[in-house]
């Protein structure tokens, strides 16, 4: 039976099909942003083989909190300890724009009249000083129900140490509400604001994700005879539909995580320890750092907020405490709109995208009125007349016409591409230099997404990187990451009295819940005593405080440039239970022969050059092609500038060398 991986992007929805013999092929359909499942089901119907299961990456969580049309935020109530009703409103007093007197904080996901103070109290040591009164909970539940509430968040003080009051409250609330989120289940960690925010976000997403999963699985997959369904989590593992509906907060960065997983897994195959995953699709570009074949992971994210040059602006969104693959994202994709600043006349790129509808002007869909980065590359000859192996014809005249509104079309195209390269290089520096003290020159740049291989060598030059890797199926590589991922389920506790005992209890809990686990991964959030924030450290077996302290000091020095002669404390420990899956097998390139250009066309590099156009599948393993050259394939186009050369290697990857 066949397994299909689906990645819903802003412009295209990508499908990678894994056959019984472990071989793969891909296809693309235009996304349907208002109803993403429409494009998914359309693509699945095009697959002729019988499908046994579907793996899915989705952006529905992020889109909900960004206010995408058609995804209305449901009415949510918050039950909290007396005196803490306004915690989610007060927050941390972060101001994303320090000198902006007119800044508006993100609106609260729970209006004040739907926040209910419960007379209960758990002390900092876990002692239940005041138990709940079920009659009080029932009174508030009836009132919330009458006010249109459909989902409830419960976040009591110190429930991460002792969840007894939250659990008793949950038992009462489930008589009235289908969707109940307890902070002790969703985010059992200290910091009342971040924990409450995470639980509220989970409560907001529960009905939306549950309805989406039901609509997708019951209304679509069942019709196609497909039984099993998995979703990518933000931490880089597959989870089942039940886990997704119970803790949908872990789906917020589902789509981008798949690309980072693909880069990490493929780096193992080709034996390159440290790579920068660079994923540029139709709407955005994402960067991730992969060290020793493992993507960097962070434990806090701010969803629905502002992004400035790839940096999440603190205080502009809703904090979520959950493991996320550490990514920097900028609004530079193939569909990113090029425009001029009316005040200064300067050329600008983004942040608005043409998306799938109307898309770039060269798509000829009738609605596109603004030129995009894809139009720029079409005008420069770097993208040819057709996409998707000839299925989609491009209109170069329309691209030139759109760019002409900005001045000389070729100069405008060159300037836009240059600005985009600078912006995307910033994102790479963010996940290397700024977050981990890493030198990008010591990494290979692994570029994928439909647009990634068009820009990769220029970004590499900007960063001083001499090696670029284009993996197989770059246009659908994030979808391929779903097939390369394992199932991964998380559990955590805070302030364990005994480290090894705490890890074992988490592992026993996960094993009991899942029935089968192939191996466990252990992590600890660690800080110096008195410090405000933690760093996440991998933990060996058995757990040793001395080993953790050494690893923490090394990580602290790499991140901040110094370490302290102070004791450490372990705040939270977490375990991932991993269930391994069958991985795809990549087709080996031809061993003999020589690829000949299929055609020539004029391409602008330093000037107009009559450039050979190759087809990727024609390239044998021994041949070296000197730039300038263009290498085309079904889902992407590889641009090889002058001074670069390329060859194809053993797992089908194209290696570019400077």
- The 10 Å CB-count burial string (b at 16+, else e) for 237-274 is bbbebebbbbbbbbbbbbbbbbbbbbbbbbbebbebeb
Report the distance separating Cα 56 and Cα 153, nearest Å: 27
Picking from 237, 232, 353, 252, the residue whose alpha carbon sits closest to that of residue 302 is 252
Task: Indicate the pairing of strand 179-182 with strand 347-353.
Answer: unpaired
pLDDT surpassing 60 at residue 219: yes
pTM for this entry: 0.85
Domain with CATH 3.30.420.40 in the chain: 2-66+210-251
- CA dist 346 and 552 (Å) reads 46
| The pLDDT value given to residue 507 | 96
Q: Are 280 and 334 in contact (CB under 8 A)?
A: yes
Architecture per CATH, domain 2-66+210-251, reads as 2-Layer Sandwich (3.30)
Of 135-144, 336-345, 484-493, 617-626, the one with minimum mean pLDDT is 336-345
Region 238-265 average pLDDT: 87
Give me 77's structure tokens: 């109530």
pLDDT at residue 69, as a whole number = 43
pLDDT digits (tens, 9 = 90+) for 222-243: 777 787 888 999 888 898 888 8
Beta bridge partners of 602: 610
Residue 367 confidence (pLDDT) above 60: no
Residues of the chain with CATH 3.30.1490: 487-579
292: left (phi over 0), alpha (psi -120 to 50) or beta: left
Give the per-residue pLDDT at 176. Answer: 95
Per-residue pLDDT at 71 exceeds 60: no
Specify the CATH class of 487-579 in words: alpha beta
Closest-CA residue to 210 (of 41, 61, 14): 61
427 pLDDT band, cuts 50/70/90, is: confident
What is residue 81's predicted lDDT score, i.e. its pLDDT?
96
pLDDT tens, position by position, 159-185: 999 999 999 999 999 999 999 999 999
Mean pLDDT of the chain: 87
Q: Look at residue 1 in the predicted model and tell me its pLDDT.
A: 66
């Amino acid at each position: 039976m066949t397994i299909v991986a689906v990645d819903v992007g802003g412009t295209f929805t990508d499908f990678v099909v894994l056959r019984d013999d472990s071989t793969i092929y891909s296809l693309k359909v235009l996304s349907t942003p208002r109803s993403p499942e429409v494009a998914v089901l359309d693509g699945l119907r095009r697959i002729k083989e019988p499908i046994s299961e579907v793996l899915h990456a989705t952006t529905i969580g992020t889109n909900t909190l960004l206010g995408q049309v058609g995804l209305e935020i449901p009415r949510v109530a918050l039950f909290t300890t007396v005196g803490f009703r306004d915690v989610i409103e007060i927050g941390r007093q972060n101001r994303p724009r320090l000198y902006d007197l007119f800044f508006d904080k993100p609106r609260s996901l729970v209006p004040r009249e739907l926040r209910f103070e419960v007379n209960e109290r758990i002390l900092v040591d876990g002692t239940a000083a005041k138990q709940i009164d079920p009659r009080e909970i029932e009174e508030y539940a009836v009132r919330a129900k009458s006010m249109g509430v459909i989902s409830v968040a419960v976040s009591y003080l110190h429930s991460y140490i002792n969840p007894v009051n939250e659990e008793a409250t949950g038992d009462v609330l489930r008589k009235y509400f289908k969707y109940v989120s307890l902070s002790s289940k969703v985010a059992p960690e200290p910091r009342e604001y971040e924990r409450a925010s995470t639980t509220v976000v989970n409560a907001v997403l529960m009905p939306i994700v549950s309805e989406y999963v039901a609509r997708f699985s019951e209304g679509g997959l069942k019709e196609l005879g497909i039984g099993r369904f998995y979703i990518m989590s933000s931490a880089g593992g597959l989870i089942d539909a039940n886990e997704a509906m119970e803790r949908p907060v872990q789906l917020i960065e589902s789509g981008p995580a798949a690309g980072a997983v693909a880069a990490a897994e493929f780096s193992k195959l080709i034996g390159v320890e440290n790579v920068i995953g660079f994923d540029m699709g139709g709407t955005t570009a994402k960067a991730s750092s992969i060290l020793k074949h493992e993507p960097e992971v962070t434990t806090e994210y701010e969803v629905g907020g502002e992004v400035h040059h790839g940096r999440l602006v603190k205080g502009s969104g809703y904090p979520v405490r959950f493991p996320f693959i550490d990514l920097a994202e900028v609004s530079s994709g193939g569909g990113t709109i090029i425009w001029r600043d009316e005040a200064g006349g300067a050329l600008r790129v983004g942040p608005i995208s043409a998306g799938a509808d109307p898309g770039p002007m060269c798509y000829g869909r009738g609605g596109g009125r603004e030129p995009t980065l894809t139009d720029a590359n079409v005008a420069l000859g770097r993208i040819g007349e057709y996409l998707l192996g000839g299925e989609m014809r491009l209109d170069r005249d329309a691209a030139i016409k759109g760019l002409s509104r900005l001045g000389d079309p070729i100069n405008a195209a060159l300037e836009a591409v240059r600005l985009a390269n600078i912006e995307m290089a910033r994102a790479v520096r963010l996940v290397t230099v700024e977050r981990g003290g890493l030198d990008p020159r010591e990494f290979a740049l692994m570029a994928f997404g439909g647009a990634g291989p068009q820009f990769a060598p220029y970004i590499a030059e900007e960063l001083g990187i001499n090696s670029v890797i284009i993996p197989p199926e770059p246009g659908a590589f994030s979808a391929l990451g779903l097939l390369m991922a394992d199932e991964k389920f998380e559990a955590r506790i805070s302030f364990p009295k005994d480290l090894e005992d705490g890890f074992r209890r988490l592992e026993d809990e996960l094993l009991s819940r899942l029935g089968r686990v192939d191996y466990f991964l252990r992590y600890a959030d660690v800080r110096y005593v008195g410090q405000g924030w933690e760093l996440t450290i991998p933990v060996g077996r058995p757990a040793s405080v001395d080993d953790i302290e050494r690893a923490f000091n090394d990580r602290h020095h790499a991140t901040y440039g110094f370490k302290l002669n102070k004791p450490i404390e372990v705040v939270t420990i977490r375990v991932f239970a991993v269930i391994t899956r069958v991985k795809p097998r990549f087709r080996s390139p031809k061993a003999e022969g020589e690829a000949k250009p299929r055609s020539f066309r004029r391409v602008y590099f330093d000037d107009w050059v009559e450039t050979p156009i190759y087809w990727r599948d024609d390239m044998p393993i021994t041949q070296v092609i000197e730039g300038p050259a263009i290498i085309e394939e079904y889902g992407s186009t590889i641009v090889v500038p002058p001074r670069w050369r390329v060859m194809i290697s053993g797992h089908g990857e194209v290696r570019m060398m400077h």
